[in-house]
Amino acid sequence: MSGRPPILFPLFAELVGLDGVGPKTAQHLAQIDITRPRDLLFTLPQSGVDRRRVVSVRGLDLPQVATVEVQVGEHREATRRGGPWRVTVEDAQTVFQLVFFHARAEHLHRLLPTGQRRIVSGRVEMFDGVAQMVHPDHILRPEEGGEIPPFEPVYPLTAGVTLRVMTRAVRSALARMPALAEWCDPQLVAREGWPGWAEALAQAHAPQGLRDLSPEAPARQRLAYDELFAHQVTLALARRIERRGKGRVSEATGRLQGRVLAALPFRPTGAQERAIREIAADMAGEKRMSRLLQGDVGSGKTLVAVMALLVAVEAGGQGVMMAPTEILARQHLESIRPLAESAGVVLEILTGRDKGLERRAKLAALARGDIHVLVGTHAVFQKDVVFHDLRLAVIDEQHRFGVAQRMELGAKGAAADVLVMTATPIPRSLALAQYGDMDLSLLDEKPPGREPVRTALVSGERLDEVVGHLRGAIGEGRQAYWVCPLVSESEVVDLAAAEERFGHLRAALGEGRVGLVHGRMLPTEKDAAMARFIAGETAVLVATTVIEVGVNVPNASIMVIERADNFGLAQLHQLRGRVGRGSAASTCLLMYQAPLGETARRRLELLRETEDGFRIAEEDLAMRGAGNLIGTAQSGLPKFRIADIEHQAALMRIARQDARRLLEENPALEGPRGEAVRVLLWLMEQDRAIRLISVG
Ligand code: ADP
Ligand code: MG
């Protein structure tokens, strides 16, 4: 599959050349991500206007859009520059006025010659007791009246692109639509009563009423499905590659695991046991494991990861665990070390900071197989890092990576099994979008004996009180995080705010007692500030949202979040998860800027009610929509033009099933349906998938 199929060329051509689209308009359209005819096709109307013909504007409930045939009367020119130019018109029952500002006389006389009949359509309103239509949307000769659809689609627009221009451009793109073979399962299409692709686009762009605009309209369902299906085919292809051929068969003996379990001061939860079993079964199988371990903060993912790493070691090989940052890698090392020691397993860390001789020594030990488990950052996947017998790669806090990175990583580890851990309790529909290529183990049970975190909402106006309480608490030896949000568009402004808060708290609580971390600091400075906090030297850590997702400071039992109303619920939940890890009762103060709107209040109250991350994530999705749930760029979540994961979650499940079945039956995408699906992948710009087909 060497290049884009020629049948799609017209849809990937330049915009210039479509009806009414010159270089200027093309530039404007690029502002809203429309650069080819294809993008126009996939930009569906967001609303519509009723333009059914009425006999007269008399008796209408104004203001209202009306479409009516009139006799053009006299023009009353503007009396001053910029003043209104009025044209009196008469419909079947009444007289009203068309009003124009900044119009050219010649143009208006040509458009509305006195004595002739015209169809006008636009918003009619009363002004000084006279009905008027300011800048009609349409003015046509009676014989052209059919050009105004009874229900006119309204498109998302951008500066410099009027609805008229947009509509013409879309129509012109529709006229270039090639006839493409059906890529959907014919049974599905028949069962759902969906139109074919071209017909669906034609319908979606010519809605007959509001119902045709809803996500449930068959044409829209079909088009959304195409998008989701293309995405799921990509994931399914990735899955095949990840699991391609033989993985390593790693059989647990239980020898090392048994020692760790015996040394544990607690018993694994049922959920942990189940996950450990699922992973061990995968690792013992011939197929390469590609599994996601999803568990809320504090659900005990580390133990599960360690048990998995021990399977690799028991089978005579090595394991690696990668964290996104230096701090997290070191924390993993610290929490794994006692477990590893009780099993007699050799543990080492490798990060970007290892240099020179020491690094070379570590690499040599790794290549000899003297190191059993390596913990580290991205540095563990550098070219010159060679394992003796790598059998498992564990990747922690993976939500920062997308499918593409995962696949790259899989490629490095040759046949190694892959376990990805995430603490982001994303709703099921999103999990399918993001991790549809993986199998899932869920830690849906928390270790017993956790004290709930007391969560309170506090108005920002009570800042002084909060600082007063904080002074008392740190006097008792407690530690606190203080999170300053990113509120403005500018990071500089936000950092200034955080630094100001830092200064304020230092003045109030004592110079040496308050630390600061933010995203602009050098990694070494950041680590140093974190280390002082972990060691208890500083009692309060002021931070922008860079507080690492997995950071563990058991003595920290207070979390203050400023402008909590600006955060997503899932993010607040994550931040709150930083406390409540030790034995002390913990508190989370959500400070908001008063007055708090109804929805904002409901959102924050939900956090007060529950610590169930999945429930919070589901409600966050319902309240805010997928786009806002997690920073899309960061989350690795795909962007869809048509599909709405929130309202069309059911389609995602069908798409995933179909994609997996298709690739089981037809892995090389051959025959007519295979060809059609390839065209779909090109159409949906699933470049990754296209590359994968050639790999597979
Ligand atoms: P996370 O899923 O957030 O990575 P951790 O693995 O860091 O969670 O575990 C959080 C804390 O809970 C750790 O201190 C760990 O020792 C403890 N823990 C893990 N499993 C259990 C269990 N089954 N019973 C009691 N405590 C546990
Ligand atoms: Mg963790």
> How many angstroms separate the CA atoms of 596 and 592, rounded?
7
What is the band of 627 on the pLDDT scale with cuts at 50, 70, 90? very low
What is each CA distance from 216 to 107, 212, 229, 300, 437, in whole angstroms? 44, 8, 17, 40, 27
74, with CB counted inside 10 A (0-12, 13-18, 19+), is: exposed
Best residue among 276, 293, 303 to mutate for probing ligand 1's pocket (most ligand atoms within 8 Å of CB) is 303
What is each CA distance from 419 to 3, 189, 314, 396, in whole angstroms? 34, 36, 17, 9
Helix, strand, coil distribution of the chain in percent, nearest 5: 45, 20, 35
Tokens for 153, please give them: 């689609």
The reply to whether ligand 1 has any atom less than 6 angstroms from the CB of 446 is no
Question: Quick one: CA dihedral 491, 494, 498, 504, positive or negative?
Answer: positive
Q: Decide: helix, strand or coil at residue 483.
A: strand
Class of CATH domain 52-148: mainly beta
Q: pLDDT of 107-165, one tens digit each?
A: 999 999 999 999 999 999 999 889 999 999 899 999 988 888 899 999 998 888 988 89
What's residue 208's pLDDT? 92
Residue bearing the CA closest to ligand 1, atom 23: 268
> How many angstroms separate the CA atoms of 513 and 482, rounded?
13
DSSP secondary-structure letter at 58? T
Closest CA to 296 of 549, 479, 546, 547: 549
Ligand 1 atom at minimum distance from 267 CA: 23
The reply to whether ligand 1 has any atom less than 6 angstroms from the CB of 298 is yes
Ligand 1 atom at minimum distance from 297 CA: 3
pTM: 0.65
What is the band of 68 on the pLDDT scale with cuts at 50, 70, 90? very high
CATH of domain 453-610: 3.40.50.300
The CATH number of domain 255-443 is 3.40.50.300: yes
Cα–ligand 1 centroid distance for 303 (angstroms): 7
What's residue 295's pLDDT? 87
Cα–ligand 1 centroid distance for 552 (angstroms): 11
Angle between helices 23-30 and 163-175 (to 10 degrees): 100
Q: For residue 353, give every residue at least 6 positions away whose Cβ sits within 8 Å of its Cβ, in sequence order, or none.
A: 326
Block residue for tokens 């400071």: 553
What's residue 164's pLDDT? 86
Ligand 1 atom at minimum distance from 396 CA: 4
Q: Decide: helix, strand or coil at residue 127.
A: strand
The reply to whether ligand 1 has any atom less than 6 angstroms from the CB of 351 is no
Q: 328 with 550: CB under 8 angstroms?
A: yes
Which of 252-261, 313-322, 556-565, 610-619 is the least confident region? 610-619
> How many angstroms separate the CA atoms of 133 and 154, rounded?
19
Residues of the chain with CATH 3.40.50.300: 255-443, 453-610
DSSP secondary-structure letter at 194? P
What's residue 404's pLDDT? 57
The reply to whether ligand 1 has any atom less than 6 angstroms from the CB of 300 is yes
What's residue 628's pLDDT? 44
Cα–ligand 2 centroid distance for 534 (angstroms): 16
What's residue 299's pLDDT? 87
What is the band of 520 on the pLDDT scale with cuts at 50, 70, 90? confident
Residue 447: cis peptide before it, omega within 30 degrees of 0: no
Ligand 1 atom at minimum distance from 303 CA: 6
What is the band of 374 on the pLDDT scale with cuts at 50, 70, 90? very high
Residue 125, φ and ψ in degrees, nearest 5:
-140, 165
Q: How far from the centroid of its chain's Cα atoms is residue 620's Cα?
A: 13
Cα–ligand 2 centroid distance for 344 (angstroms): 22
Cα–ligand 2 centroid distance for 297 (angstroms): 7
Say whether pLDDT at 238 is over 80: no
Residue bearing the CA closest to ligand 1, atom 13: 300
Tokens for 474, please give them: 């740190």
Block residue for tokens 């580290």: 376
> How many angstroms separate the CA atoms of 354 and 24, rounded?
53
Amino acid at 645: I
Residue 347, φ and ψ in degrees, nearest 5:
-115, 145
170, with CB counted inside 10 A (0-12, 13-18, 19+), is: buried
> How many angstroms separate the CA atoms of 565 and 562, rounded?
8
What is the band of 80 on the pLDDT scale with cuts at 50, 70, 90? confident
The reply to whether ligand 1 has any atom less than 6 angstroms from the CB of 577 is no
Residue bearing the CA closest to ligand 1, atom 25: 447
The reply to whether ligand 1 has any atom less than 6 angstroms from the CB of 484 is no
Cα–ligand 2 centroid distance for 227 (angstroms): 34
Residue bearing the CA closest to ligand 1, atom 14: 581
